[in-house]
Amino acid sequence: MIRAKSAAGSRPSIAGDVEEGAPLITPQSPVSDSGAGRAGGAPQWLLTAGYGVTNLASVVTIVVANKKVLYTHKFSFVVTLTLLHSVFTAAGMLAMGAGGVFQPRRISRQEAFKIAAVYVGFIVANNLSIQLNPLGFYQMSKLSITPVLVFIEWVWYAKPASPRVLASIAVLMVGVGLCSVSDVQLSSNPAGVAAAVGAVLVAALYQVWAGAKQKELGLNGMQLLHQVSPASVVLLVPLAPLLEPFGIFNPRPGTVLGYRPSPEAVAWILGSSVLGLIVTLSTFLFIGATSSLTYNVVGHLKTVLIVGSGVAFFGEGMGVKKGVGLVVALCGIFWYSHIKLEESRKADDASK
């Protein structure tokens, strides 16, 4: 994400092509992983743990970096920042593919843009939901991504979750809701409700596709991201000026082109963009190694860690509701982990 260039020296294009001689991968013609992305034959459990820890650490870190960028340094352009993240991700994947880190595989532009459109749709809908809805309603809508994801996998991919898994997820969601959701206010704005519903649907679908498309197309996480990330850039480039004050003709203060960054602001923006690459890549790798639902559970663990770190390091209050929520959420996470480990052991025993 073992060479990205053919002997003729053709270069990858922004639309996601790789070498002219590479086979076109479609859902009907999967290819094997050929070991791409495996770190020197390391055990799969070690790779999976590494992907999960990297994702967890990078997400928590990028929250801090984005707060610095958006609030401390007043670069309050979320879509433009997302575009920068996508540019760094696309450039990083092209460089890794060219450097032999993995073997690039080409998929159809239609397939790449379909996955990218879901990601971009989530960015747009989520930002609208934040702007148009009360905070409590927005937080509750984000919690609903988990049951929607479970429903999509059940209906679309015939992967029903077991009753024990559903019970552990329910316990986890109750805990996360108690510790992270403020007083719930129903939204009276039809546009806000529509944005929240759209954000939940596309977020769940994106998480499902990040794993399902790897299996469907016979790609690993690096190969799939290599194809999808340039398409995300292509979609975000025209959207950023439409959704945010870009200042193309009048770069005044308060516009993207009118922003005058300090050296520290530039450092934080670059750091956030590099973290964006790490977050997205570790997401694709972790989902490919586990499942979309397990990734979603780890996402709730991130929330628990962020809330807990706020209490431990930033002097935020620990009320009874928040304390009970943290304990209940951790119980749900440990229960889910125990169930998945048990299922994995049974699967290993059955395969012997």
Distance CA 348, CA 276 (A): 35
The pLDDT tens digits for 238-287 are: 999 998 999 999 999 999 999 999 999 999 999 999 999 999 999 999 99
Instruction: Give the angle subtended at the CA of 50 by the CAs of 107 and 92, to the nearest 5°.
Output: 45
- The overall average pLDDT reported for the chain is 84
* 350 within some domain: no
For residue 50, give the DSSP letter: H
Percent of the chain with pLDDT over 70: 85
Tokens 């073992």, residue located: 2
Percent of the chain with pLDDT over 90: 56
Tokens 């809508």, residue located: 141
Distance CA 280, CA 125 (A): 19
- pLDDT of 218: 93
Residue 30 vs residue 316, higher pLDDT: 316
pTM of the shown model: 0.80
- pLDDT of 281: 96
Q: Are strands 24-25 and 106-107 parallel, antiparallel or unpaired?
A: parallel
86: pLDDT strictly greater than 90 = yes
* 26 within some domain: no
- Report yes or no: 124 and 194 within 8 Å, Cβ to Cβ: no
8: pLDDT strictly greater than 70 = no
**Which residues constitute the domain of residue 63?**
42-163+183-290
- pLDDT of 314: 67
| CB-neighbour burial class of residue 255 (10 A; exposed 0-12, middle 13-18, buried 19+) | middle
181: pLDDT strictly greater than 90 = no
- pLDDT of 352: 62
Domain count for the chain: 1
The pLDDT tens digits for 211-244 are: 999 999 999 999 999 999 999 999 999 999 998 9
For residue 218, give the DSSP letter: T
245, 301, 303: which is closest to 75 by C-alpha? 245
* 297 within some domain: no
* 117 within some domain: yes
Query: Residue-wise over 8-39: b if at least 16 C-beta within 10 A, else e?
Result: eeeebeeebbbbeebeebeeeeeeebeebbee
For residue 71, give the DSSP letter: I
- pLDDT of 182: 66
The pLDDT tens digits for 112-170 are: 999 999 999 888 888 888 878 877 778 788 889 999 999 999 999 999 999 999 999 99
* 325 within some domain: no
Q: Which residues pair with 107 in a beta bridge?
A: 25
User: Which H or E element spans position 25?
Assistant: strand 24-25
**Given its phi and psi angles, is residue 41 left (phi above 0), alpha (psi -120 to 50 degrees) or beta?**
left
Instruction: Give the angle subtended at the CA of 119 by the CAs of 303 and 158, to the nearest 5°.
Output: 85
Distance CA 219, CA 275 (A): 23
189: pLDDT strictly greater than 90 = no
Q: Which residues pair with 25 in a beta bridge?
A: 107
The pLDDT tens digits for 307-342 are: 887 777 767 777 888 889 889 999 999 999 999 888
7 pLDDT tier (thresholds 50, 70, 90) = very low
The pLDDT tens digits for 11-22 are: 333 333 333 334
